[in-house]
Structure 1
Amino acid sequence: MNHFAYNTPFGKVTLASDGRALTMLVPGDRMLAGDRAPNAITNAAATQLQEYFAGQRRMFDVPLNPAGTPFQREVWHALEFIPYGQTRTYAQVAESIGRPTAARAVGSANNANPIPIIIPCHRVVPASGGMGGYAFGEKMKRFLLELERSHSL
């Protein structure tokens, strides 16, 4: 496992890779298990994040391998199909995976997403309004949604 901290417009993020795919994105400059060295996967993810923040990228194509339960992985895969600049409710995501009564479980899976931004859990909001939770905080979630809306016009 390799990991390395990269600069973004909002400070550093640490990206981790198993050598074949991206496994984690965490805020800050973190020490994780494995070698603290960039590799082709973390470098590609960092480049794509810079393009995303500049409004030049709508989809990420770096390979992903997030660690999670089968249900969590199913939810995270579904999140990749929420179009750039749009949102879905937890209930809508639950419906999309054929589990219409699992909105709360979708929320828990969203909260456990180890690769936020790239797996766009920020695009999921509560049906009651508001932002809901987010690993980088509500302010960042709001910023990401506004960034996407402004570039999808």
Structure 2
Amino acid sequence: MAIYTGFNILFWCGLRVGELLALEIKDIDFENETLNINKSYQRLNKEDVITEPKTPKSKKIIEMPSQLITVLKDYLKTLYKPKPSTRLIPHTKYIFEHTMKKYSKIAEVKKIRIHDLRHSHASLLIHLGVNPLLLQEDWDMKRLKQP
């Protein structure tokens, strides 16, 4: 369920995989239907490292669509006594890459990179009428309405 939830967050919110993997339960605000992006996860020398996001603009508050809110609520019910500081998706980038490769092969479609889900999200926003120049200049999802 964690991988399914992670792929949903990547697509619906346009996060980098490091931003996804650094999310903690306290970063979810169901009342305001937002995610707080303020850190990034890396695996360095076999250790989990939480760092500042890639760029200053990477710190943002992202609006979540109702589909994602449902997925997150269902997923949180499966966790055993989570604390606010519990990492939401306790995996590494490798798990997502392996899963993408596995299911692309099963579906007999070309495998895409995990980062390509960020591009899919941008395409969704353009389809919904968001100005592409706004996306290029400022990836601030707080101002971009999602379905």
TM-score by length of 2: 0.24
Could you state the TM-score of these two structures normalised by the residue count of structure 1? 0.24
Specify which structure has the bigger relative contact order, considering alpha-carbon pairs within 8 angstroms and separated by 6 or more residues: 2
